[in-house]
Each structure stands twice: as C-alpha cells, then as structure tokens.
C-alpha cells in the first residue's frame, strides 16, 4: 500500500580456501518493513539471519608447515589402515606418564603432520548462526517534533565440531 514500504533479500556464497579441505558456505536473509499507522505514527522492523558453514580442514587449514616436508617423505602407504604414511613410530606403549615417539625421517625433515592423512581422518567444522533485529515506533505529535523509541537485539551461536584421530 501507499503507507507501507518493504524490502526482502537473500544471499548465498560458497568459497573454496587455498588448501584442500578448506571452504565456507554462507546463507543470509534480510528484510525490513516500514509502515505509517495513521497521520502521526510510523513503525518499522529490520531482521537479518545469517548461517555459515566453515570447514577448516586439517590443522585449521592455515598451517603452512605442511609444505616443509622433504620431497622424499611419502604421503601414501598401502599398509596403513587409512592409506596414508605415518611420520612417527611408537617404540612402546603410551601410558599416562609416558609418550615416546621416533621420527621416521629425522626431526629436520619431518613435517608436523601428514596433511592429507589428517584431512582423511579428522574433522574441523564450524556452524555459526547470527540473528539481528531492530524495531521502532515514531510519534509526531506536533509538526517538527518527532519522538522515536527503538529496541534492538542480536543472537550469535557458534558450534565447533573437532575430531582428530590418533593412529
């Protein structure tokens, strides 16, 4: 009608990160409505909802130490149950007070982890939700005099699921 204006928009974005296993998907919805109620009163409301799904990959997806490995260090190993080469060996049992390991390729040439192996045996995801809203009522009892009251709120939820397999 002539007394009401409104807007609605929706968005979607999908971005792949620079490394395998890193990506983001974002969905958003936004609306606002303004309405004149009679000659002296105006009301309005704005709402925005955003949902993000982030996959961070192995080790957060941003650790470039993965590229420090020596070129002869293998990535794949058919004898490993997951198909990826180990970087360390365990000389004995792991106990609450003992965690000994040996580098298979020497400490100078062993990267922190096998990125592709960790990517296949771990998960690091974030599911974020944001809701923003505001509303107002404006009264104009006299010409040139406007009295406005508003209320705003925000809700933000982060859900991080992180699993790393030790093998």
Q: Which residue numbers in the chain have pLDDT < 70? A: 1, 58-70, 106-113, 166-167
pLDDT of residue 124: 85
pLDDT of residue 57: 75
Residue 21, sorted as left (phi over 0), alpha (psi -120 to 50) or beta, turns out to be: left
Kindly report the pTM of this predicted structure.
0.71
For the stretch 56-77, pLDDT in tens is 876 655 566 666 666 777 788 8
């Amino acid at each position: 009608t002539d007394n009401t204006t409104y807007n609605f928009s929706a968005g979607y974005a999908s971005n792949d990160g620079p490394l395998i296993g890193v990506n983001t998907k974002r969905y958003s919805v936004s609306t606002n409505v303004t309405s004149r109620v009679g000659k002296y009163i105006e009301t309005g409301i704005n709402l925005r909802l955003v949902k993000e799904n982030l996959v961070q990959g192995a080790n957060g997806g941003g650790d470039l130490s993965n590229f420090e490995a020596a070129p002869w260090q293998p990535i794949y190993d058919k004898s490993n149950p997951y198909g990826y080469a180990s970087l360390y060996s365990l000389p004995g049992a792991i106990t609450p007070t003992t965690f000994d390991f040996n580098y298979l390729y020497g400490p100078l040439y062993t990267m922190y982890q096998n990125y592709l192996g960790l990517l296949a045996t771990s998960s690091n995801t974030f599911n974020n939700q944001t809701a923003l809203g505001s509303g107002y009522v404006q009264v104009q009892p006299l010409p040139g005099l406007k009295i406005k009251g508003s209320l705003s709120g925000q809700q933000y939820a982060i859900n991080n699921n992180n699993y790393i397999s030790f093998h």
